[in-house]
Structure 1
Amino acid sequence: MKLTVVGGGSTYTPELVDGFARLRDTLPVEELVLVDPAAERLELVGGLARRIFAKQGHPGRVVTTSDLDQGVEGADAVLLQLRVGGQAAREQDETWPLECGCIGQETTGAGGLAKSLRTVPVVLDIAERVRNANPKAWIIDFTNPVGIVTRALLQAGHRSVGLCNVAIGFQRSFARLLGVTPADVHLDHVGLNHLTWETGVRLGGPEGENVLPKLIAEHGDSIIGGMGLPRALLDRLGAVPSYYLRYYYAHDEVVRELRTKPSRAAEVAAMERQLLEMYGDPALDEKPALLAKRGGAYYSEAAVDLAASLLGGGGSPYQVVNAYNKGTLPFLPDDAVIEVQAAVGPQGPAPLPVAEVDPLYAGLMANVTAYEELALEAALHGGRDRVFRALLAHPLVGQYAYADALTDLLIAHNREHLAWA
């Protein structure tokens, strides 16, 4: 089995490699190819990847290359984890929206739209080259904004599934609180990428006992602790929102915070410099503890599970993925990309039935779905008016004066990445 990681020079990659090494019985990778145009970073990451495989006795071969076509040739699955423009572009995404009093964030709001415009054309080019190399290869997208990027891939006819680590993070956290194994926890996870709620926590599978009310009653403070939202809100919702919902539920509070502290991009850039220095140490043969602060917790377990199921191995029967709606949520278009539990196999994901969704969540999902459709139009076809329409539709922007000003700022800060600008 050959797996290729595009964006293999990312500091995330040792997390992924560690998972491949530990879970080799689930996903027997014979050749792992790391593709990245940044040759120096790639060699540092590739060297550590080889040492991780060697330490854990993995027989697979790790190959590094800057040649995309060579890297994807014959690959059974290709994982996308790229960042067009690097941390410098992310720094801009997180700062210029604040000039208009709007959230600065890399996956949602105006910054998320900027990332979509930079990313979608690049990802579609990569996917076409993957299809030319092996039409049966699966493309697993971890590149943000996952929902929009996955929708672009699916609309272009690619064999693609989107992946996020929010759900697996909740699964692991709830399992610890309940004193059970993660495999015992099934989430009623519903929404769009980075706009999701846990509306049930079931023991043993989709038909198991729902212990979410008990979890909230006994562990609500722990659950909500790191989200910056009040416990009272958790009790009133009766569901667990992902931490990205804070951008919607506490928008003005978050804007005030973002204006008074260093950006997350600056923190991550500093962390990446440290990590790359560590990766260059020939004595290092495991992922360093610092990597846990970089983000992407449990990404490797989720990626291994998904790839194993798609390639006919022993993945979990149900997994939270990003896939076409196809009637699962009747208030959204069939070609909307939703993030829900699905049965995953070699034919791809089949979303499980979802109970009727509370209008409190359905309304916001419908709004953001409309924005994502307009964002994809802007990413595919360009043009100031398409950018303006997407921003005007986004619930974190909404007002025409803000949308107008943000359109000009977005284009000014991303001109080098926009072929039409």
Structure 2
Amino acid sequence: MKLTVVGGGSTYTPELIDGFARLRDTLPVEELVLVDPAPERLELVGGLAGRIFAKQGHPGKIVTTSDLDAGVEGADAVLLQLRVGGQAAREQDETWPLECGCVGQETTGAGGLAKALRTVPVVLDIAERVRRTNPDAWIIDFTNPVGIVTRALLQAGHKAVGLCNVAIGFQRKFAGLLGVTPNDVHLDHVGLNHLTWETGVRLGGPEGENLLPKLLGEHGDDIAADLSLPRVLLDRLGVVPSYYLRYFYAHDEVVRELRTKPSRASQVAEMERELLKMYADPALDEKPALLAKRGGAYYSEAAVDLAASLLGGGGSPYQVVNTYNKGTLPFLPDDAVIEVQAAVGAKGATPLAVAEVDPLYAGLMANVTAYEDLALEAALRGGRDRVFRALLSHPLIGQYEYAEALTDQLIAHNREHLAWA
């Protein structure tokens, strides 16, 4: 089995390598190719990857290359984890929206749109090259904004599934609180990427008893603290929103916070500098503890599970993924990309049935889906008016004066990445 990671020079990659090494019985990788246009980062990450495999006795071969076509040739699956523009672009995404009093975040609001506009054309070019070289390969997208990027891939006819680590993080959290193994926990997880709610926590599978009321009753303070939301809100909702919902439920509070502290991008950039120094140490043969603060917790477990199922191996029968709606949520178009539990196998992902969704959540999902329609149109066709329409439609923006100003800012800060600008 050959797997290729595009964006293999990312400081995330040792997390992924560690998972491949530990879970080699689930996903027996014979060749792992790391593709990245930055040779200096690729050398450091590839060296550590080889040492991690060696320490854990993994027999697989690790190859590094800046040649995308060579890297994806013959791959059974291609994982996308790239960041167009790097941390410098992320720093911009998280700062200029604040000038209008709007949240600055890399996956939602104006910053999320900027990232989508930079990313979608690049990802589609990569996917076309994968299809020309190896049309049977699965594409697993971890590149944000996952929902919009996955929809672009599916709309273009690619064999693609989107992946996010939010659900697996909740699965681990709830398993710890219940004193069971993560595999015992099945989530009723519903929404769009980075706009999801846990409406049930069940043991043993989708038909198990719902223990969410018990969790909220006994551990509500702990759960609320993790989300930086008040306990009383969780009690009133009766569900657990993802931490990204704080941008919607406490928008103005978040904006005030973001204006008074260093951006997350600057913090991550500093971590990356430290991590790359660590990766250069020839004695380092395991992922360092600092990597846990970088983000992407449990990404490796989720990626291994998904790849194993798609490639006919021993992955879990049900997994939370991003895929076409296909009637699962009747208030959304069939071709919307949703994030829900799905049965995953060699033919792809089939969403499980979802109980009726409270209008409180359905309305927000429908609004953000409409924004994603417009965002994808802007990413594919360009043009100032399309950018303005997408921004005006976003529930975190909504006012025409803000949308006008943010459109100008977005184009000015991303001109080098926008072919039409």
TM-score, length of structure 1 as denominator length: 1.00
Secondary structure, aligned partner of 2:226:
coil
- Report 1:17-416 matches (<5 A): 17-416=17-416
Does the residue aligned with 1:84 lie in a helix, a strand or coil? Answer: coil
Q: Distance in 2 between matches of 1:363 and 1:118?
A: 28
Deviations 1:65-111 (A, max 9, x none): 00000000000000000000000000000000001000000000000
| In structure 1, C-alpha distance between the alignment counterparts of 2:203 and 2:277, rounded to whole Å | 43
Separation (CA, whole Å) in 1 of partners of 2:136 and 2:330: 30
> 2:381 is aligned with what amino acid?
H
Helix, strand or coil for the counterpart of 1:139?
strand
| Structure 1 gap segments, 5+ residues each | none
* 1:356 counterpart SS class: coil
CA distance in 1, matches of 2:405, 2:77: 41
Q: Please give the alpha-carbon distance, in whole angstroms, between the structure 1 residues aligned to 2:330 and 2:393.
A: 21
Question: For each residue in 1:234-290, what CA deviation from the matched residue of structure 2 results, as whole angstroms up to 9, or x when unmatched?
Answer: 000000000000000000000000000000000000000000000000000000000
Give the residue type in structure 1 aligned to 2:94.
E
SS at match of 1:297: coil
State the alpha-carbon separation in 1 of the partners of residues 22 and 307 from structure 2: 15
The 2-side partners of 1:102 and 1:223 are apart by: 26
1:365-405 CA-to-partner distances (Å, cap 9, x unmatched) read 00000000000000000000000000000000000010010
Equivalent AA in structure 1 for residue 219 of structure 2 = H
For residues 14 and 229 of structure 1, the distance between their equivalents in structure 2, rounded to whole angstroms, comes to 32
Q: For 2:227, what is the secondary structure of its paired residue? A: coil
SS in 2 for 1:210: coil
Query: Counterpart of 1:420 in structure 2: which amino acid?
Result: W
Distance, in Å, in 2 between the alignment partners of 1:226 and 1:269 is 23
Structure 2 CA distance for aligned equivalents of residues 182 and 229 of structure 1: 24
SS in 1 for 2:216: helix
1:138 to partner: Cα distance: 0.2
For each residue in 1:290-335, what CA deviation from the matched residue of structure 2 results, as whole angstroms up to 9, or x when unmatched?
0000000000000000000000000000000000000000000000
> What displacement does 1:133 show?
1.1
Work out the CA distance in 1 between the residues paired with 2:121 and 2:365: 25
The CA RMSD over aligned residues, in Å, is 0.3
- Partners of 1:226 and 1:189 lie apart in 2 by 18
Deviation at 1:227, TM superposition (A): 1.6
Shift of 1:228: 1.4
The CA deviation string for residues 339-374 of structure 1, in whole angstroms up to 9 with x for no partner, is 000000000000000000000000000000000000
Matches of 2:2 and 2:236 in 1, distance apart?
A: 48
Q: 1 CA distance for matches of 2:388 and 2:248?
A: 20
Shift of 1:224: 1.2
State the 1:226 CA deviation.
Answer: 2.1
> CA separation in 1, counterparts of 2:245 and 2:194?
8
User: Structure 2: how far apart are the matches of 1:45 and 1:183?
Assistant: 30
Percent of residue pairs identical: 89
Aligned mates of 1:98, 1:176 — CA distance in 2: 37
Matched residue SS, 1:244? helix
Q: Aligned pairs, how many? A: 421
Give the Cα–Cα distance (whole angstroms) in 2 for the partners of residues 239 and 274 of structure 1: 38
Gaps of 5+ in 2: none
What does the per-residue CA deviation read over 1:8-41, in whole Å, with 9 as the maximum and x for residues that have no partner?
A: 0000000000000000000000000000000000
Aligned partner of 1:150: which letter?
T
In structure 1, what is the Cα distance between the partners aligned to 2:387 and 2:235?
Answer: 38
How far apart are the structure 1 equivalents of 2:183 and 2:37? 38
Q: Give, in angstroms, the shift of residue 193 of structure 1.
A: 0.1
How far, CA to CA, are the matches of 2:27 and 2:222 in structure 1?
A: 34
Q: Matches of 1:179 and 1:379 in 2, distance apart?
A: 45
Query: Counterpart of 1:331 in structure 2: which amino acid?
Result: F
Corresponding position: 1:16 with 2:16: yes
Moved over 3 A (4+): none
AA of the residue aligned to 1:10: S
Give the secondary structure class of the aligned counterpart of 2:350: strand
